[in-house]
Structure 1
Amino acid sequence: MASELTPEGQVIPPFNITAPAPVISLKGFKWDTVDEVVQGFEKKPSDELEGPGAVEQTPLFAASLDAKVTAQEQPLQVGELPAPRLPLSPESLGAQLPGQLGLVPGLPAPPAPLFPLAQFQGAYAGNGFNLIFRPRPSDDATPFEQTPVGPNDNILELNLTTEQLTFGETIGDIPNRGLNINNQSDITLGGFPYLQTIQDVTNRETGKGDRTNPTGIHFEPGMWLNIPETTSPKNGPSVCRMASIPHGTTINAQALSPQQQATTLGGTPGGPTFEVLDTTPFPIGTTTPLNPNPFSLAMDASSTNSPRIPQTLTKFIEAGTINTDIIKNPNLVLQNAINGLNIKENITFEVSTGGPTETINGGGTANISFLAGTQELGATSAPDKPNAHAPFMRSRFWIETVAYDVIVPRFTKPCTVLLRPTMPRDATAPTPVFAVTAPAKLPSEAKTILIQGIQIQYSQTVFLNFAGLTWPHVSVATLVPKNPQPFTMTS
C-alpha cells in the first residue's frame, strides 16, 4: 500500500508497515569461502570467529552420509511428552510474527498450502551435494596442492552439504486483479515463506560429509505460491517459487501443478525416477555439451592436478561420496540416498524460469550488473562479457511417503517416546525421528512396527554464463522433518 495525501496535503502512512518486520535469527550461519578448508590449508587466526560476538557453527542435522542410527539403540528420550505438533505452534514463533502471519489467538489459523505443496510446512533438514564451475580471475589465490593443468578460467567446486529448509505458515489470501477485456476474473493466490540455508561439510580426511565446523555456502529466503486456474492466459492450477540469492540473483520459477492421483498424498505409487544429468559445459545459445570436453580432467575424480576443489578425491572415491559418475550426473546422489528405502508414493513437479513454453508463460531471472556483465544501458541484447550471469534455473522436487521399520519398546503406561527407525545399510538418506505414543491398551509388548514418514528430495540446475560457455551448477539434497513426526500406536 502506498502513502496517501489528505485534501490538506498531509501524508497518511501505509498502515500495513507500521510495525517493524520480525528479525530472522541465523545463529551459527556465516557465509564464507571453503577454498582453504576443503583443500586442507589452515586459515590464519585472524580469519576465525572470535570474541564476544562469535557463534559456534553447528549443523541442525547430522551431516554424515553413512551415519546409521538404529532403533536397537536406546530411544532418544523416554517419558511424558506433550503431544507433538507439526508444523510449529504459534507460541513457538515469538510475539510479533504470529500476528503478521495471521496466527491471532482465538482466530482460526490460515489454511494449509494446496496440492502439491501441502507437505511444505515446518522445518526439514538433511544432506546433499553441490557442484559448481565458478569463474577464476587472473589474480586467483585459491590454494592448490599441485599446480593445476588445463583451462585457467574456471574452478570446479564440489561440496558435500548439510541443509535446512524451513517453511512458514501461509500468509492468507493474496488478491490478484483480472482484466475485463481479457475476460479474466480476479484470482486469489495462496503463499507462504521459506528459508533455505546450506553448509559445506566436506571432510578431505575422511572423504565424507562429516566435518564438524561447517561453512555457510548458501542462504535463500523466498516464497512459494499456489496459483488457481486462469482463463487469460489459459492455464490450469500452477505453483511458483520466488527467491532471492545474495550473490545478486532473483528468480521467479513457475510450472503447472501435477495431476492429483488417488493415493494418500495424491502422488504416484512407488519411488521416484531420476533423470540422467550432464554437467559438461556447452557454448552459450546451444544445448550441446562440448565434445571433446576440455574440462574432462577436472571432471575425472581420479585426477590430482586439475583446477578443482577438492583437488584430490581419493578418500571420497573410497567412501563412495564423490566419484566420476557423480560429478557427471549428481542425481546419482539422490538415488544412493534412497537405496533400500520402502517408498510408497511420491509427488513430483518441476518449476523453471524458462519463460514461454508449450504449457505456461511465466518466470525469469534478474542479476546485478556485476554478474550480468558489460552491456549498453537500455540495450535489449544479451550481455557480452558476463562475470557469472544466471539466465536460467530449474528445480525438480519429489515429496515421498517412506515406510520405516521402527522397533518400539514395551509400554506399561501412557507416554510418548522419541525413536529412530532402522535404516537400510546402503541408504545415505538422513534418519528421521518419530514421536511414538503408546496404545490405549496397556501393557504392550516390544515389537517392530511400520511407520510412514515424509521425505523431500530435490535436484536443481542453474545455468551460469561466462567465458563464452554455459556452465551447469547442480545442487541435490534429501531432507526429512527436523521435528519428530507424530505417530500413535493402535495396538
Structure 2
Amino acid sequence: MDLKPDFSFRPKLDLKSVAHFPFPQIPNPLGPLAALPGAWIGHGFNTIWRPNHTPGQDRFLELNLRDETFEANAVSGAIPNRGSLQQDINMFGVHYLQQIQDSNLHEGLHFEPGIWATVPATSDPIEPPTVVRMGSIPHGTVLLAQGTAKEIAGPPAIPAVNIDPFPIGNPGGHSPFPEQNLAQSTPFRTPAPGINGINQAMVNNPNSVLQAAIAGQTITHTTVLEVTTTATRVPGGGTASTAFLQGTQHGPNADAVQVVATFWIETVKGTGGHPDFLQLQYSQTILLNFNRLSWPRVTVGTLRKKTPVQVPIQWIDPKIPLELLQQAENRG
C-alpha cells in the first residue's frame, strides 16, 4: 500500500502560515503519531453481538482471539485544509493498513485502510491540537474519529470495559445477557474450537487482556491517543454506513452509530540484555444498533513494532525552515 516514492502534497496555493509542528511541544510534524510508521504485529480479542433470526432469539455473541498486523507509512507534505472562518490550516499524517485473522480458525476477520493525522490548534472553532483517525471498514462503514493526545511517564491506566447491551440512548440501563456466561451452554455463541483460549474474565472485561499483556513489564513512557466519532471532545466526527446497515423507518439492520477508541504507544524496557521496544495497545468500542438496543462491540489488541523506523522530518515536511529542522534535531 505504499505511495509512489515521489508523491508529496504540494498545495497549488501556498498556505499563509504552515504549522510545521502541530503539537508545539513535540518537535516533529507527526507530533504524537511520530512512532506509528513501521510494521507492528501482535494479538488481541474481539467481541461482537450479531443479529440472529432464530424464532425467539434475536442475537448471537461472536468471540474471537485475533492475530493482527498494522502497517503505517508517513505521508510526505503538508495536507491542506481550506478555511473560510479562519486562515487555511495544514495536517500531517500517516496512512495505514490493519489486517486481522481469527487465531483459532485462521479465517480473515477484518482489514481496514485509513489515515491518522495531526491537526493544529484552530481559532474557529477554538480547539487545541488534535489527532484524527479516518478509517474504512469493508462491511459497509466508514468512520472519522477525532480527539486528544497526551504524554505520560510510565505505564497506562487501562480501565475496565463491558459488553452489556442497553436500550438505545440509555447506557445506564445496561445488563448482561445469558450468552455472556461461558458456563452456560448455548447455540447462540461461538462454539469450540473457536473460543479456545477465551475465559470468563476476558468476556466480563475485554480490557483485562491488555492489562495481562503488560503485567510484569516496565513501561517508561506512554503516548495516549483518545478519539471518538461523537462531538464530546471536539466538534465533528461521525460514522456513515450503507443503506442495508442503516435501514429506514423499520429500523437498522446493524448500524454502527458510535466509535470510541484509546490507543497507547508504549516504550517498554528490555530485559535480559535486550533493547527497549515499542508496543501499541488499543481498546475500541463500537455501538451497533439493532432490535431497539445498542450492542457494544469491544476489540482490544497488543502489538510490538518489528523494526525501529525513524522517518526524516524533512521528508514529512519538505518545506520546513532550516532553523526549525535544526531545533528538532537538537531536541531529538
TM range (shorter): 0.7 to 0.9
Distance 1:129 1:405, change over 3 A: same
- SS for the counterpart of 2:157 is coil
1:273-326 deviation digits (Å, cap 9, x = unpaired): 1111121000111112444x4x2x21112122241002688x84xxxx422221
1:368 matched to 2:273? The reply is no
Deviation per CA, 1:403-427, whole angstroms, max 9, x where unpaired? 1114xxxxxxxxxxxxxxxxxxxxx
Q: 1:391 aligned to 257, 263, 283, which one?
A: 257
In structure 2, the CA distance between the partners of 1:194 and 1:312, relative to structure 1 (3 Å rule), is closer
Q: What are the Cα deviations for residues 128-165 of structure 1, in whole angstroms up to 9, with x where unaligned?
A: 000000111349xxxxxxxxxxx511110000000011
Deviating 4+ runs (over 6 angstroms):
none
Matched, 1:347 2:223: yes
Instruction: Answer 1 or 2: higher relative contact order, Cα 8 Å, separation at least 6.
Output: 2
Counterpart position of 1:280? 164
Contact map agreement 1:304 1:311 (CA 8 A) in 2: no
Match of 1:268 in 2: 152
**Equivalent in 74, 81, 103 of residue 169 of structure 1:** 74
1:118 pairs with one of 34, 47, 53: 34
| Partner residue in 1 for 2:300 | 476
**Alignment partner of 1:298: what SS?**
helix
Aligned counterparts of 1:224 and 1:484: Cα–Cα separation in 2: 19
Distance between the aligned counterparts of 1:273 and 1:326, measured in 2?
Answer: 18
Q: CA deviation digits over 1:247-277, x for unaligned, max 9? A: 110000001332xxxxxxxx31221111111
Choose 1 or 2 for highest CA Rg. Answer: 1
Is the counterpart of residue 160 in structure 1 residue 65 in structure 2? yes
3-state SS of paired residue (2:297): strand
**SS class of match (1:137):** strand
> Which letter does structure 2 place at the counterpart of 1:194?
Y
Equivalences for residues 140-219 of structure 1 within 5 A: 152-179=57-84, 182=85, 184-202=86-104, 214-219=106-111
Cα drift, residue 243 of structure 1: 0.7
Aligned CA distance change for structure 1 residues 248 and 155 (closer, same or farther; 3 Å): same
C-alpha distance in 1, partners of 2:251/2:90? 41
1:304 and 2:185 equivalent? yes
**Structural mapping, 1:324-343, within 5 Å:** 324-343=200-219
Amino acid at match of 1:472: P
- The aligned amino acid for 2:95 is P
271, 277, 284: which one aligns with 1:460: 284
**Percent identity (aligned):** 42
Distance in 2 (alpha carbons) for counterparts of 1:272 and 1:310:
34
Whole-angstrom distance in 1 between the partners of 2:140 and 2:220: 40
Q: What SS does structure 2 have at the residue aligned with 1:336? A: helix
SS in 2 for 1:350: strand
> After superposition, where does 1:407-426 map in structure 2 within 5 Å?
none
Q: Could you report, residue by residue, the CA deviation over 1:60-93 in whole angstroms, capped at 9, with x for unpaired residues?
A: xxxxxxxxxxxxxxxxxxxxxxxxxxxxxxxxx6
Q: 1:97 is matched with which residue?
A: 4
Letter in 2 for 1:394: V
- 367, 387, 402: which is aligned to 2:268? 402
Please tell me whether the aligned partners of residues 226 and 239 of structure 1 are also in contact (alpha carbons under 8 angstroms): yes
Unmatched runs of 5 consecutive residues or more in structure 2: 10-19, 22-27, 311-332
Mark the runs of 5 or more structure 1 residues left unpaired by the alignment. Answer: 1-23, 25-92, 103-109, 140-150, 203-210, 259-266, 376-383, 407-448, 487-491
Change (3 A) 1:323 1:248: same
User: What one-letter code is carried by the residue in structure 2 that aligns with 1:169?
Assistant: A
Match of residue 133, structure 2, among 241, 250, 270: 241
Provide closer, same or farther for how the CA distance between residues 387 and 344 of structure 1 changes in structure 2, counting only shifts above 3 A: same
Alignment partner of 1:222 is 2:114: yes
Kindly provide the amino acid, as one letter, of the partner of residue 482 in structure 1.
K
1:352 Cα offset (Å): 0.4
Specify whether residues 101 and 138 from structure 1 end up closer, same or farther in structure 2 by C-alpha distance, changes over 3 A only: farther
The aligned counterpart of 1:323 is: 199
Q: What is the Cα deviation at residue 191 of structure 1?
A: 2.0
Residue 483 of structure 1, CA deviation: 3.1
Q: Distance in 2 between matches of 1:257 and 1:303?
A: 41
Answer yes or no: is 1:451 the counterpart of 2:332.
Answer: no
Quote the Cα distance in structure 2 between the aligned partners of 1:478 and 1:344. Answer: 17
Alpha carbons of 1:306 and 1:363: their partners in 2 closer, same or farther (altered >3 Å)? same
Contact 2:285 / 2:297 at 8 angstroms: preserved in 1?
Answer: yes
Query: Which TM-score applies when normalising by structure 1?
Result: 0.57
Distance 1:196 1:101 in 2: 23
Amino acid at match of 2:172: T
Aligned length: 294
Indicate the SS of the match to 2:5.
helix
Which letter does structure 2 place at the counterpart of 1:351?
V
**Alignment partners' CA distance in 2, 1:283 and 1:403:** 44
Return the offset for 1:113.
4.7
